[in-house]
Homo-oligomer: A and B are copies of this chain.
């Protein structure tokens, strides 16, 4: 029997899989996260459902592909009709606590339509995706009235907007206060003390929450806003690494020669134009690594707190990220598009059950998707899985060595309609979508209104050579299109009745007093 009573679901924001020591980084030290991988199972081929925060997180929180939950980009709210992890838990009299970021956008129009835009408890839950807020903190923009800003002011950071003035600001060589929004300042230490920085504050909140639960079971989503931009670290993490301790930039001149139209449009966007420049890469990458080292440090504190409380015995832990960060790879900055740099994330599962002992300190090549997270958590807690809605699979089948046949492809989606790229390409807002099918060997990308892309990951693991137009590979593209079609066909659209309801209702019309076709 499973011994899981609690769940700690940790997400980093914009953390590339290759930026952890346990995933092979030769210089970046992440001993605490590595320790989790040693106690649990490291998933080496874990992929998100979209390479950008909002849709990726909605897939993490709903267990559904982006086409199914419909929140196709950061500014697209999750429809009020979609059911999130917190609601599944609530239906089982459990609570999903939140510390940190969710990127939940309230579906104001949908809630207004349902008269749930007022002060009702349900309206509040739906606005927050059924997270019970311990302390929501999304980062990446000023939140002057939030818990973190209040905390900072209490610590003596006197400002109406201490995040802007201290957390992402620095003092330059001339004593001038400069902003972390300008990447040229990333090498400077933030004006906030490390102990008061975002990562420290968020970890503190989580530790305090766990301590306060005593022996009551809990489910906590600890959602760190780092190492996401603004790239500005507090001392001593701002200069923890030098550029020669960073990974080589994964780019090739051939990628600039005749790029795919969508990639070419991204290349023209400001963040990509800047990340094509060596001085940007040289300035940002060491700080990005420093921010990760800082995250690792606070994970160590969290592990200690769990140890003290005896919680390693009964807590399922998931450590992952919502997507990666190009940092100049493929001549790109930021995220989106379908390269592994952005699509592949770290994913470590620590399953405390004795059944999982055989998988400790092992790694799996199984293809994992973000949508597996909700089924894993529900399964861990022994709660029913709404199979007619959930599109992922419990990973406890892997940790416990009982998986059977596993999927052989993962899928991701993009809607670039809100991006400058749409304007550069002259597209309508409903004609900007792309879909990725990725197997162990092949990555196929299907674009609305543009040619497909294809990469041979066995012979070109860096994804430099686009075979999308190469006639030699038409049969591969054809097979990948067949997979994409099959994927669309099995999406869960019938969400109002469960599979059990269908079973019970099959071939029962005569019981309802209807007798068609009788002679």
Contact = CB atoms under 8 A, between A and B. Distances in A.
Interface of A: 66-68, 70-72, 75-81, 107, 109-110, 114-116, 120, 122, 140-142, 181-184, 229-230, 269-272, 274-275, 277, 280, 333-334, 387-388, 415, 417-420, 422-423, 428-430, 433, 435, 446, 448, 478, 481-482, 484-485, 488-497, 499, 502-503, 505-507, 512-519
Contacts of A491: 67
Contacts of A496: 70-71, 76-79, 107, 109-110
Contact of A497 (B77, B435, B488, B503): B77
Contacts of A415: 494
A165 to B, nearest CB: 14
A375 B517 CA distance: 36
Nearest to A491: B67
A110 B81 contact: yes
B519 A182 contact: yes
Given A70-B493, A79-B496, A430-B490, 10 more contacts: A67-B491, A72-B494, A77-B497, A114-B116, A271-B517, A274-B519, A415-B494, A417-B502, A420-B506, A429-B499
13 contacts: A70-B493, A75-B505, A81-B110, A107-B496, A114-B116, A181-B515, A181-B516, A181-B518, A420-B507, A430-B499, A446-B485, A448-B490, A478-B478
Contact of A518 (B79, B81, B270): B270
A420 B506 CA distance: 7
B433 A489 contact: yes
A472 to B, nearest CB: 18
B141 A494 contact: no
A480 to B, nearest CB: 11
A446 B493 contact: no
Contacts of A71: 494, 496
Contacts of A484: 485
A309 B515 CA distance: 42
A78 B81 CA distance: 12
A490 to B, nearest CB: 7
A428 B499 contact: yes
4 closest Cβ pairs, A-B complex: A271-B517, A81-B81, A429-B502, A488-B488
Contacts of A494: 70-72, 76, 415, 430
A513 B179 CA distance: 13
A506 to B, nearest CB: 5
B70 A270 contact: no
Contacts of A275: 517
Contacts of A492: 430
B502 A387 contact: no
Contact of A114 (B122, B229, B497): B122
A420 to B, nearest CB: 4
